[in-house]
Amino acid sequence: MPFVHTAIELTVGYISLFIVTKLLGKMTITQITLFDFISALVLGDLVGNALYNEYIKIKEIIFTVFFWGFLVYIVQFITQKSFRLRTLLEGRPSIVIHEGKICYNELKKNRLDLSQLQHMLRAKDSFSVSEVEYAILETDGSLSILKKSDYAAPTKSDHNMPNQPPNLPVTLISDGRLIRENLQRCGMNETWLQQELDKQGIRKYSEVLLAEWKKKKSTLYVQKH
């Protein structure tokens, strides 16, 4: 039946794409380069066309996905080893603001106008070019900025305050489900957790939307559904 065959091809294509993306490594949308973006489009287009071509079978879909993934992997491997090819394929960052001055030639080279630059600065909480000392246009199209000292947020060292290590909260309950691995990692047990929940009038985990434990402050943050 054509519907069953299409469903099988979709499943195979989905699994193949999942495996290939896992093998190629984790990368968020904001981290992909122009070459990565084009590769993703081509890979998806190859699978999409294969699904509606009656002459292409499941084995051709698998071969197409994995061979294209192999080519992308080879390019990634080469760019890790060769700085010249990495620059050619991924580009290099561009300084668009240098010592508080806009580098107009760099803007033109990257097809970026002043309105776009101002928009990207506002996204970084800088509403005036005069607040920025340096701005770098990264290879993925994002903008990294270094504000002038008058506009930068003060740090603890500026106030001679003692340095304290960051405290990462650990999620113990998420959407009514207990995460036992995290509970054990904190050195706690369910008896202790239930006692803490009882203090807030909570009898079941299903009543909790989120529960976070902060070790340094020895506090349990709980939000009900």
Q: Structure tokens of 104?
A: 């107009």
- What is the Cα–Cα distance from 90 to 23, expressed in whole angstroms? 20
H helical segments located in 82-128? 83-90, 104-109, 114-123
Helix (H, G, I), strand (E, B) or coil at 177: strand
Would you say residue 33 has pLDDT above 80?
no
Let me know if the fold of 94-147 is the same as that of 170-224. Answer: yes
- What is the Cα–Cα distance from 186 to 213, expressed in whole angstroms? 8
Domain boundaries along the sequence of the chain: 2-88, 94-147, 170-224
Would you say residue 134 has pLDDT above 90?
yes
Would you say residue 211 has pLDDT above 60?
yes
Give the pLDDT band (50/70/90) at residue 132: very high
φ, ψ at 123 (rounded to 5°): -65, -20
Per-residue confidence (pLDDT) for residue 161, from 0 to 100:
74
Per-residue confidence (pLDDT) for residue 139, from 0 to 100:
78
- Tally helices (H) and strands (E) across the chain: 8, 8
Tally Cβ neighbours within 10 Å of residue 224.
11
Domain 94-147: give its CATH code.
3.30.240.20
CB 106 within 8 Å of CB 114 = no
Per-residue confidence (pLDDT) for residue 166, from 0 to 100:
64
- What is the Cα–Cα distance from 225 to 196, expressed in whole angstroms? 17
Topology (CATH level 3) of domain 170-224: CRO Repressor (3.30.240)
